[in-house]
Chains A and B, each alone.
Chain A
Amino acid sequence: MRAEIDRVGIKIGMWLFLYSEIILFGGLFVLYAAYFHKHPESFAVGGKELDRVIGALNTVVLLISSFTVAASITAIQKGSRKLTIGLLGFSIFCGFIFLVNKYFEWGAKIHHDIYPNSETLVNGEPGLNIFFGLYYVITGLHGLHVIIGMVLLSISLVWVLVGKIDGSKISMLDNSGLYWHLVDLIWIFVFPLFYLVL
């Protein structure tokens, strides 16, 4: 059997998985591109209806959490376990804030009768229906990834607490961090595509 753990290999595997995640979203971005080309005006109208403040806030929250995750990896490598735990806890908290914001955002939209197959959308402008359809699918899938990311970070946190992750064994934390950056990265594309259309 293998004498020592090959960290580079583990990372290659993780990166390949991240590629596949990007392509998963890529399919949806293809739809976005085609429909944006078809209904540019409706997309602009739809974009104005979304709350840019909450969107921007969520972007900042995710960016900060990405930083704290990266910092936690450096922290564990330098041996400060307490700092790692604090930073990871804060990152998970950021993810939680993101989801709460998302909940209020979706809630407000649904309250205004804007959700898939709602009266307003079905009888309204077709382009708007597509815009909000994509909005729900893409942000929904992204939200799911936020939850998965939080689960991964929580597992890493527990592993740090029980000592399964320390300065010499960081692959789990490292890869969870990479996943969290992916979640962040996708949001960086989702945010302008929906909130900042024209």
Chain B
Amino acid sequence: MTATPSFYHQSAPPGLSGIKAWLLTHDHKRLGLMYLGAVFFWFVLAMILGLALRTELMSQGRTIMGPGMYNSMFTLHGVIMVFLFAIPAIPAIFGNFFLPIQLGTDDVFFPRLNLFSWYLFMFGGLFAIVALFVGDGFPDTGWTFYVPFSIQNSKNVGLTVTAAFILGMSSMLTGLNFVTTFHRMRDKRMGLMQIPLFTWSLYATAWVQILATPVIGITLVLVVLERFLSIGLFDPAKGGDPILYQHLFWMYSHPAVYIMILPGMGVISEIIPVFSRKSIFGYKAIVWSSMGIAIAGSLVWAHHMYTSGMSDVSVFVFSLLTFLVAIPSAVKVFSWVATMYKGSIEMTPPLLLALMFIYLFSVGGLTGLVLGAVGTDIHVHDTHFVVAHFHFVMFGGTGFAFFAALHYWWPKMFGIMYPFRAAYVGAVLTTVGFLFHYVPMLIVGLQGMPRRYYDYLPQYEIGNFLAGLGAYVMCAGIVIMFVNLFMSFRKGVPAPADPWGGTTLEWKVSSPPPVHNFIDKPQIMDFPYDFKGVGEQLQPKDR
């Protein structure tokens, strides 16, 4: 450890102490940790909800809850996981913490706006909690809030939709902050092709956040207006068209899928080269594929609506565009695998999780093609196949990238190392449970079991039972991972500045970093993934 005090010991702005140093902070690192706390709470809550749902489905008929409760619960699970975990997790936590450091600067461009975004995030969460306990309880519409059900529904749709609106604002302002930081705060000597890939992926994400989020904003406003004023914009009896709601909704919510996955891909692009001790394969291809995904991903929304009623021409066009998005994603997978080829691989928990990400994400991507093709989609539309597909991408992808990021940057954020063995056990259990959980869903989905149903026919019982069993194994794995990380505080094994042999700028500062990140002007390398000077790094006692 160096003699300089870390950001835990110095507040920004200076002169604040105690809880104020956190609640009024402008420091991007503290804000990242504050997001971590909030997101962690939501993740655990939604995970417990998911577990309850799968327990209910383990046997036919009523198991632990009634149908109404079930409907509200899957809505709550979806709303939390989408708006309060998957969208903010990586950009708001790790993005906030590491984007300025990777760019060689001391903070984001608008530090106060950053704090404001955090408060918006907390308020959005608060609204969601209030919606649980007042009036007729939490909505049972599913996280998509499809009309006309969301408008005629007597439950707290208005409040929940407002929560989503506020959370959207928070995410958009974070994106705005990142784009400005990227352009204006970057170290003057760092050219565009010298920027670490995690930051590049956050930049692509930020654009999607800025350009897509307002669309969901206005859509949710319309839902609220319809509920209070009954204008009839989506009501066929009054000249409206419910399909237009779906278009507006997915115009945001499909790009939102890329808001969730792009930062995850950025994390993986950092981890793979570091533990392969080899320069990333196809740096430029990864940068361009990030931007390609951001652009192409904004043009595919109607593939959620093949069965809603659209002209054959639109269906054809959207199907084609959907297949196009697969190309940049595959470019990345190819680059990661090619990076490892003939690398000097050093196994660590973050690398193991990254490898699992690649595998699970690939399955998610390939099942996505099944859904992108019109013919097969009509067969499996609204079945458990879809549920399994997007969990492979959003959980197997974003979730595992989140775990990997947590294990990769934990020493930097808290300045301590964690034991590896429990992390390995947790990661393996999570993956095995994951496969047991979602593969049966793919199968019962293909056999025709619809999603969001409370009950099912006898032939689906085995699949659902196995899925439930898998859920328990998976959750056990996640708990082991988290407990292991928390236990690392008790031992407090100090982490060196660069425990992994990373080459990007965050590894050039002490762990945890000082309040202004850099004491001396950082040295900018010609290429961020140059491992010439990096040898065997891990001390045997760390393992």
Contacts and interface: CB of A to CB of B under 8 A. Distances in A.
Specify whether A and B are partners. yes
A127 B239 contact: yes
A34 B180 contact: no
B508 interface: no
A19 B40 CA distance: 32
B42 interface: no
A30 B229 CA distance: 21
Interface in B171-189: 172, 176-177, 179-180, 183-185
Interface string A97-137: 00000000000000000001100011001111110011011
B225 A19 contact: no
A21 B169 CA distance: 11
A78 B440 CA distance: 72
B14 to A, nearest CB: 10
Contacts of A39: 239
Interface stretch (B128-136, B216-224, B364-372, B520-528): B216-224
B241 interface: yes
A28 B231 CA distance: 14
B67 interface: no
A26 B225 CA distance: 17
A133 to B, nearest CB: 4
Contacts of A35: 239-241
Interface in A153-198: none
B516 interface: yes
Contacts of B410: none
Given A20-B214, A26-B215, A34 B241 contact: yes
B184 A9 contact: yes
Nearest to A9: B184
Contact of B211 (A6, A20, A129, A141): A20
B240 to A, nearest CB: 6
A13 B214 contact: no
Contacts of A117: 229-232
Given A13-B180, A130-B233, A27 B210 contact: no
Given A8-B184, A130-B239, A130-B240, A27 B233 contact: no
Given A23-B214, A27-B219, A28-B218, A133 B233 contact: yes
A31 B106 CA distance: 44
Contacts of A30: 244, 247-248, 251
A48 interface: no
A17 interface: yes
B109 interface: yes
A128 B180 CA distance: 44
A129 B213 contact: no
Tell me what chain A mostly uses at the interface: helix, strand, loop, or mixed: helix
Tell me what chain B mostly uses at the interface: helix, strand, loop, or mixed: helix
Contact of A9 (B180, B211, B217): B180
Nearest to A12: B180
Contact of A17 (B106, B176, B248, B516): B176
Contacts of A82: none
A28 B493 CA distance: 56
Contact of A31 (B214, B237, B244): B244
Interface string A20-53: 1101111110110011001100100000000000
Contacts of B240: 35, 126, 130, 133
Contacts of A125: 239
Given A1-B106, A12-B184, A133 B211 contact: no
Contacts of B225: 137
A22 to B, nearest CB: 8
Contacts of A130: 232-233, 238-240
B219 A6 contact: no
Max chain A Cβ within 10 angstroms of own Cβ: one of B184, B185, B247 = B184
Given A126-B238, A126-B239, A127-B239, A24 B184 contact: no
Contacts of B119: none
A149 B229 CA distance: 26
B239 A16 contact: no
A1 B210 contact: no
A67 B214 CA distance: 28
Contacts of A42: 239
Given A13-B176, A23-B214, A127-B239, A34 B232 contact: no
B110 interface: yes
Contact of B214 (A1, A24, A129, A137): A24
A171 B142 CA distance: 44
Contacts of B244: 30-31, 34
B210 A20 contact: yes
A23 B255 CA distance: 14
B516 A137 contact: no
Contacts of A34: 241, 244
Contacts of A27: 214-215, 217-219, 248, 251
B230 A129 contact: no
Nearest to B12: A1
20 contacts: A2-B106, A12-B179, A12-B183, A13-B110, A13-B180, A16-B180, A20-B172, A20-B214, A21-B214, A23-B214, A31-B233, A116-B231, A117-B229, A126-B239, A130-B232, A130-B233, A130-B239, A133-B233, A136-B231, A141-B221
Which are the 7 A-B pairs with shortest beta-carbon distances?
A126-B239, A9-B184, A27-B218, A133-B231, A24-B214, A23-B214, A116-B229
